[in-house]
Structure 1
Amino acid sequence: MTFQRLSTKPASAILACLLSSSAFGAVVVLPKYNVSVNDVSVSGLSSGAYMAAQMHFAYSKTIKKGAGIVAGGPMYCSQGSVAIATGPCMADTGSRNLAYLQSVVNTWSGNGYIDPTSNMAGSKVYLFSGTLDSTVKQPVMNDLNTMYANYVTPANITYKNNIAAEHAMPTDFSGNGCSTNATPYVNNCNLDTAGDMLKWLYGTLNAKNVGTLGGTFINFDQATFWGNANPTTHGMASSGYAYVPANCTAGQVCKLHVALHGCKQNVATVGVNYNQNTGYNRWADTNNMIVLYPQATTTAANPNGCWDWWGYDDVNFPAKSGGQMVAIKTMIDRVVSGNAAAPFTCSGWYDSNYWHVYYGRAYVGSDGQAYAVNSNQYLGYYTTYAYTNVRRTSAGYYAHGSCA
């Protein structure tokens, strides 16, 4: 995939992204499942890779298993600038100033803008960068590898950077030739990247299902996670998708993996190619693993349906309070809340931060953000669009299902 630089477009519109009728039936409310809070991971390709790294850094208390990054770059690489995003953070033109980015991450970790990075030490990280990648050059990914080594135990990081692959999700069964940079950005490289990633994150897994899958695909409402506002005005589609193995539907204990597509790669653009042909579901089907496929969409400032990793929708895009970040985090909370063994069993509420404040479960701090009463745990935006799980214990109120 290439970037078109059109001088007649505003800067935000020239970010011709990193990549590029529901096939899954009626839109439903995202169900709760018996998913352990200790078995949540995230991955992404291209803009989804940047988003996955943001999620891992910002919500390290929740995404405990770790992250898989295919063709991404350092946390906060864009610094909120489309010029930096398309230059140093993709084409490797100019400096990414890694030392500065790490200092920002450290500051945010200390002030609650993101979860403490100390949570990341025991998580796993899988990195992939093709030697032929002409969209996100390999030195960009090298910097992410260097950044992660400051926060994750080095033995928990694996970096595959010696495969002659272009800018796409490498598979062992589907897609274009491995040296192709074109829609749907899924390439057959005789490499099971999804399997390698999931085995690294979760350890030994059962053999994948190469036949007919036994689970179901669901199409779920994403507006719920924007306080029933219209998510399409914020770069997210009205609905997302998930693959749910039969055992998970039946209530068995399951894992959760969140897989984030790249630009020009949502269902509206490439159909089921990312959701069904990247290999995740084959492993999920035999290993009690739900795969959540949130969906981005196009806006005037985001014409290619990328995830917000440079601030096209929200100046707080890389933080716990970022709009898209909160939406996906709350999807995770929703899925995990069905596990009776998880810390979601104490009395609590799932509501917007506005109503948490109204009912005395939270207060507005001097920075204009919402915090849980007594525990002072950070909740994010004080708006009707930022939804949070808040639980009550004898010690006070806690966010995101944490009742410790």
Structure 2
Amino acid sequence: MIISALLRLLALLAVFVCSAVLPGQAEPGSLPPMRAGQLSVSGLSSGGYMAVQFEVAFSASVMGAGIVAGGPYFCARGNLGTAVTVCSCTTGLPWCGVSPGGTNVSSLADITNRNAAGDRIDATSNLAGHRIWLFSGRWDTVVPTAVMNDLQDYYRFYVPPENIRYRTHRSAEHAMPTDFFGNQCSVLGSPYINNCGLDAAGELLGWIYGALNPKNGNTPAGRFVEFSQDEFLPDARSHGMAATGFLYVPPGCEGDGAECRLHVAFHGCKQNADFVGDAYMRNAGYNGWADTNRILVLYPQAATTFSNPNGCWDWWSYDDRSYAERSGRQMRAVKRMTERLTGQP
């Protein structure tokens, strides 16, 4: 036990020392104040769970979400054991407790309603106007389709069926699906982006925002801004967020970004800049659509901690018991970033 803990600590130190800043990046500055609108979110894996809880908690500010391999709001119930056996299959053991209906969606809806009644999250009535895009790979061994089916059932408590689009792929593993970059579709491995001939980023953005202009390609024409996340969460790394995050600014959104939209893309575990460099930011598929549709893309960054060695977002309370509420540290930090970019107080 002691040896295992020491090895894990050494691994964390190695990641921190070697990969704290992307190669070629200058010292991070401040996130620029802008006046974008139409806030939406998406995410993969732990980023999918983060996107769900962010959308539900701040439903008055968000208009829609795209979830790839995530699960219902508060699925883990603040318990790591539940997170890795009921809401995902991440124990490393040859068995998993995931089963159809296993997350108990009705009880999660009850918790959601109590949180809203206690003013810990926004009113659930806001969700009725949201647009939801869901994706599950039938070969996903980390967040099996049964969990995503429960997520669809959860959303049906609040969102009209016609506002929910649910896509599956018969041979997709646990990864962000693209039509131009990544491993083979059935592969589980870094950078957890797979070429499945399916443009998930384009589909989810189009479902949330409506018809989009065609993308010009997959090489970003805009620029990345590296900014300090410590401004939004002091000593961010100790709370599971990296010291820096990234904003993609397409050509049409220079200046104050007025009349531009804002999308927040939450990466998955082992997918932040420490683990995969700029692979997710450049190749998850968002930027080409951002270039032709005036969409700012915020790429906040999670980080490794001793209790979170894979750099996941906090969706089971590794840092904060209020992790799924408006007052959650990571939740509040990202919300403040979006307020800076939308000009909201």
Q: Tell me the TM-score normalized by structure 1.
A: 0.77
Match of 1:248 among 250, 253, 271: 253
Query: 2:179 matched to 1:181?
Result: no
- Where does the alignment leave 5 or more consecutive residues of structure 1 unmatched? 14-20, 338-343, 345-400
Query: 2:145 matched to 1:141?
Result: no
**Aligned AA (2:127):** M
Residue equivalent to 1:215: 222
Q: CA deviation at 1:97?
A: 1.9
The 2-side partners of 1:240 and 1:151 are apart by 32
Q: CA deviation at 1:34?
A: 2.4
Change (3 A) 1:27 1:157: same
> Number of paired residues?
322
Larger deviation, residues 85-94 vs 318-327: 85-94
Residue equivalent to 1:29: 30
Match of 1:323 among 306, 309, 329: 329
Q: CA deviation at 1:214?
A: 2.5
> Do the aligned partners of 2:178 and 2:284 also contact (CA within 8 Å) in 1?
yes
Query: 2:244 matched to 1:239?
Result: yes
Change (3 A) 1:195 1:6: farther
Query: 2:235 matched to 1:230?
Result: yes
Task: Identify which of structures 1 and 2 has the higher relative contact order when contacts are C-alpha pairs closer than 8 Å and 6+ apart.
Answer: 2
The 2-side partners of 1:217 and 1:291 are apart by 9
Moved over 2 A (4+): 5-10, 21-26, 211-214
* CA displacement 1:336-369 (0-9 Å, x = unmatched): 01xxxxxx4xxxxxxxxxxxxxxxxxxxxxxxxx
**Aligned AA (1:128):** F
The 2-side partners of 1:175 and 1:55 are apart by 27
**Aligned AA (1:40):** L
- Where does the alignment leave 5 or more consecutive residues of structure 2 unmatched? 10-20, 90-95
**What's the RMSD between the two structures over aligned residues?**
2.0
Q: CA deviation at 1:162?
A: 3.5
Change (3 A) 1:172 1:24: farther
Query: 2:109 matched to 1:102?
Result: yes
The 1-side partners of 2:334 and 2:308 are apart by 18
**Aligned AA (1:32):** P
* CA displacement 1:119-161 (0-9 Å, x = unmatched): 0101100000000000001101100000001111110000002
Residue equivalent to 2:288: 282
Describe how 1:250-269 pairs up with structure 2 within 5 A: 250-251=255-256, 252-269=258-275
* CA displacement 1:20-45 (0-9 Å, x = unmatched): x3254331100012212xx0000000
**Aligned AA (2:166):** Y
Q: Considering fraction of residues, name the structure with more strand.
A: 1
Change (3 A) 1:318 1:6: farther
Residue equivalent to 2:279: 273
Residue equivalent to 2:74: 76
The 1-side partners of 2:280 and 2:218 are apart by 18
Change (3 A) 1:6 1:106: farther
> Do the aligned partners of 1:24 and 1:218 also contact (CA within 8 Å) in 2?
no
Q: CA deviation at 1:203?
A: 0.3
Q: Which secondary structure does the structure 2 equivalent of 1:67 belong to?
A: strand
Change (3 A) 1:257 1:162: same
> Do the aligned partners of 1:33 and 1:249 also contact (CA within 8 Å) in 2?
no
**Aligned AA (1:322):** G
Q: CA deviation at 1:104?
A: 0.5
Residue equivalent to 1:44: 43
**Aligned AA (1:33):** M
Change (3 A) 1:318 1:282: same
Q: CA deviation at 1:164?
A: 1.6
Q: Which secondary structure does the structure 2 equivalent of 1:56 belong to?
A: helix
Change (3 A) 1:24 1:153: farther
Q: Tell me the TM-score normalized by structure 2.
A: 0.90
The 2-side partners of 1:325 and 1:175 are apart by 29
**Aligned AA (1:198):** L
> Do the aligned partners of 2:218 and 2:287 also contact (CA within 8 Å) in 1?
no
Q: Which secondary structure does the structure 2 equivalent of 1:223 belong to?
A: coil
The 2-side partners of 1:211 and 1:83 are apart by 39
The 2-side partners of 1:24 and 1:150 are apart by 45
**Aligned AA (2:97):** T
The 2-side partners of 1:235 and 1:77 are apart by 19
